[in-house]
């Protein structure tokens, strides 16, 4: 039996902890990008580039609609993509370079950038996230059929997410305290350097060190039947509604927070606010992940 598949007769994971941690490492740069994308990008393109917030909001809204269409298509394509290197690895090799280019161009706009510039690279970022992000997530689910091993894998991913959020706050801290510059363009430039450095390294580690199950023996379901099954699953539909509400509230808060702090409160030291806010908010969730991780081994 492959190392990547757990023995269904035992609760003990067959996948090593180090492999789970290597797999989860891609979540580190992906977590870092969420902070500048939702908080700093609207500030940059409205105050320094000169675009209206309504146009910026339209671009972000269009990207969300774009995701709703391309994500199911990408999942359908990835499940049926067969190569000698596996179903998931090639998508990381294709998507990660595109993602790095999109991040760099989006966070470092050229002088005189227009809404078309923002729209193109924002959609390119979302498209590249779909290209490698969905196969990457599916890869993790296929590493084991054992419940407790999957808990260990997802726990490793979530730990990287928490670390990434705190590193994102630390980038703002260094920008203000070390270089004494908290302009959106400078802060986002620092973010871009970190992300385009970390993502290729972590992606190559995953491609090189994490095994991929060649045939997971999952039944083939058409795209139309998949959508029908999703609609029939009331619990899943409820989960989608909850996710929509949570994501809407988070995006609303994140987008307005920087404008509120800088323009209304006239608060100069931004890193102190965000460095305290994000770790405190994530502390309970991190503790929960640790509990789940421990439970997976205790049973």
pLDDT at 45: 96
Banded pLDDT at 10 (limits 50, 70, 90): very low
Banded pLDDT at 72 (limits 50, 70, 90): confident
Task: Give the count of alpha carbons within 13 A of 259, CB side only.
Answer: 14
Q: How far is CA 275 from CA 109, 158, 163, 185, 222, in A?
A: 26, 19, 12, 19, 46
- Residues 177-230 have pLDDT tens digits of 889 888 899 999 999 999 999 999 999 999 999 998 765 566 777 778 877 887
Question: Phi-psi bin for 217: left (phi > 0), alpha (psi -120 to 50), beta?
Answer: left
- Residue 143 CA to residue 5 CA, distance in Å, equals 6
pLDDT at 218: 63
Give a yes or no: residue 105 inside a domain: yes
| 280, pLDDT greater than 60 | no
Give a yes or no: residue 3 inside a domain: no
pLDDT at 258: 74
Tell me what the mean pLDDT of segment 270-280 comes to.
Answer: 56
Banded pLDDT at 118 (limits 50, 70, 90): very high
Neighbours of 39 (CB within 10 A): 25
- Residue 66 CA to residue 288 CA, distance in Å, equals 33
Alpha-helical regions (H) of the chain: 17-24, 27-35, 41-43, 53-79, 89-107, 115-142, 147-177, 184-209, 223-232, 234-259, 270-298
| 2, pLDDT greater than 60 | no
Give a yes or no: residue 62 inside a domain: yes
Give a yes or no: residue 11 inside a domain: no
Banded pLDDT at 287 (limits 50, 70, 90): low
Of residues 103 and 36, the one with the higher pLDDT is: 103
Tell me what the mean pLDDT of segment 145-149 comes to.
Answer: 87
Average pLDDT along the chain: 83
Domain count, the chain: 1
pLDDT at 82: 83
Contact indicator for 87, 212 with CB cutoff of 8 Å: yes
Contact indicator for 32, 195 with CB cutoff of 8 Å: yes
Identify the CATH number of the domain in which residue 213 sits: 1.20.1250.20
Contact indicator for 186, 40 with CB cutoff of 8 Å: no
Contacts of 247 (CB under 8 A, 6+ apart): none
Tell me what the mean pLDDT of segment 24-49 comes to.
Answer: 92
pLDDT at 15: 84
pLDDT at 100: 97
Give a yes or no: residue 173 inside a domain: yes
| 126, pLDDT greater than 70 | yes
pLDDT at 298: 47
pLDDT at 216: 56
Backbone phi, psi, residue 230, to 5°: -65, -40
- Residue 136 CA to residue 92 CA, distance in Å, equals 7
Give a yes or no: residue 206 inside a domain: yes
Give a yes or no: residue 131 inside a domain: yes
**Residue range(s) defining the domain that contains residue 146:** 17-298
Contact indicator for 15, 143 with CB cutoff of 8 Å: yes
Banded pLDDT at 28 (limits 50, 70, 90): very high
Tell me what the mean pLDDT of segment 88-93 comes to.
Answer: 94
Give a yes or no: residue 123 inside a domain: yes
pTM: 0.82
Neighbours of 26 (CB within 10 A): 28
Q: What percent of the chain lies above the pLDDT cut of 70?
A: 81
């Amino acid at each position: 039996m492959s190392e990547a598949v757990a023995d269904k007769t035992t609760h003990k994971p067959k996948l090593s902890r180090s492999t789970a941690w290597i797999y989860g490492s891609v979540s580190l740069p992906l977590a870092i990008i969420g902070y500048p994308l939702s908080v700093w990008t609207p500030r940059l393109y409205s105050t320094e580039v000169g675009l209206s917030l309504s146009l910026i909001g339209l671009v972000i809204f269009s990207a969300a609609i774009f995701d709703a269409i391309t994500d199911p298509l990408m999942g359908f394509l990835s499940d049926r993509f067969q190569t000698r290197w596996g179903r998931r690895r090639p998508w990381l090799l294709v998507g990660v370079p595109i993602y790095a280019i999109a991040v760099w161009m989006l966070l470092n706009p050229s002088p005189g950038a227009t809404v078309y510039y923002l729209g193109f690279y924002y959609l390119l970022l979302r498209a590249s996230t779909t290209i490698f992000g969905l196969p990457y997530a599916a890869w993790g689910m296929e590493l084991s059929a054992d419940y407790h091993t999957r808990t260990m894998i997802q726990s490793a991913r979530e730990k990287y997410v928490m670390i990434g959020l705190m590193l994102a706050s630390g980038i703002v801290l260094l920008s203000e305290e070390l270089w004494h510059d908290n302009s959106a363009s400078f802060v986002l430039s620092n973010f871009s350097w970190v992300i385009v450095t970390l993502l290729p390294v972590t992606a190559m580690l995953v491609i090189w060190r994490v095994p991929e199950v060649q045939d997971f023996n999952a039944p083939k379901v058409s795209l139309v039947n998949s959508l029908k099954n999703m609609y029939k699953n009331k619990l899943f539909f409820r989960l989608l509604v909850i996710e929509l509400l949570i994501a809407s509230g988070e995006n609303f808060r994140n987008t307005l927070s920087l404008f509120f702090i800088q323009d209304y409160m006239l608060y100069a030291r931004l890193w102190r606010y965000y460095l305290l806010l994000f770790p405190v908010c994530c502390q309970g969730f991190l503790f929960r992940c640790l509990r789940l991780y421990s439970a997976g081994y205790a049973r």
